[in-house]
């Protein structure tokens, strides 16, 4: 019998989820399960709380357990990219994975932050970032993806503000290699990457 919101999960239900630590606060299960039910899909989306020391084992278990895919949230995005062999171009460039597609025994790592943010700017806001300066708050999470989406669009100068003790200079190759000036402002001092075309 086909599973649904009324009949519950059946033996043929496709399972996806979200890997993070913690994940109790995540709205992803409610959002995805509501979408699956509305579309009449025999899918279920579950939270997967995985502590940092258990990430490698958790990823190795996805295919044997029959998962079709998972989203990855903090603090596992960077480590997941390091553990997977199959990465999309965006995931490899950003060195972060937020989506895993399971194909047989192969885990494909993707990063949807950059295309998602670019689609938000262009389609939802109707905004063309070409030539526009950008101020990005934060140097972790989705911030690199936002910077990555801004650079190929012909965006202008980019400033990223880091709160407190910022991590190491955040991947200047994402934008500097494209000739876009980057300035990162921290609580203590400033790190600056100049465009290769700058004098």
Active site residues: 77
d(CA 189, CA 199): 22
With 0-12 / 13-18 / 19 or more C-beta atoms within 10 angstroms meaning exposed / middle / buried, residue 39 is exposed
**Locate tokens 């999470």: which residue?**
141
End-to-end CA distance of the chain: 68
Q: Which two tokens stand for residue 26?
A: 């995540």
CA distance 166 to 87: 27
């Amino acid at each position: 019998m086909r599973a649904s919101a009324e009949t519950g999960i059946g033996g043929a239900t496709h399972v996806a989820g979200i890997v993070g630590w913690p994940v109790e606060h995540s709205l992803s299960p409610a959002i995805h399960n509501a979408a699956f039910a509305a579309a009449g899909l025999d899918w279920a989306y579950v939270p997967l709380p995985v502590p940092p020391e258990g990430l490698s084992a958790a990823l190795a278990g996805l295919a044997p357990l029959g998962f079709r895919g998972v989203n990855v949230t903090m603090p596992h995005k960077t480590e997941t990219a390091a553990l997977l062999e199959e990465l999309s171009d965006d995931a490899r460039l950003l060195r972060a994975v937020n989506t895993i597609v399971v194909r047989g025994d192969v885990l494909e790592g993707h990063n949807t932050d950059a295309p998602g943010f670019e689609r938000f700017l262009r389609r939802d806001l109707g905004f063309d970032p070409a030539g526009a300066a950008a101020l990005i708050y934060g140097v972790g999470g989705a911030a690199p993806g936002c910077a990555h989406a801004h650079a190929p669009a012909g965006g202008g100068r980019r400033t990223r503000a880091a709160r407190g003790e910022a991590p190491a200079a955040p991947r200047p190759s994402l934008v500097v290699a494209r000739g876009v000036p980057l300035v990162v402002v921290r609580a203590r001092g400033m790190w600056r990457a100049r465009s290769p075309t700058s004098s």
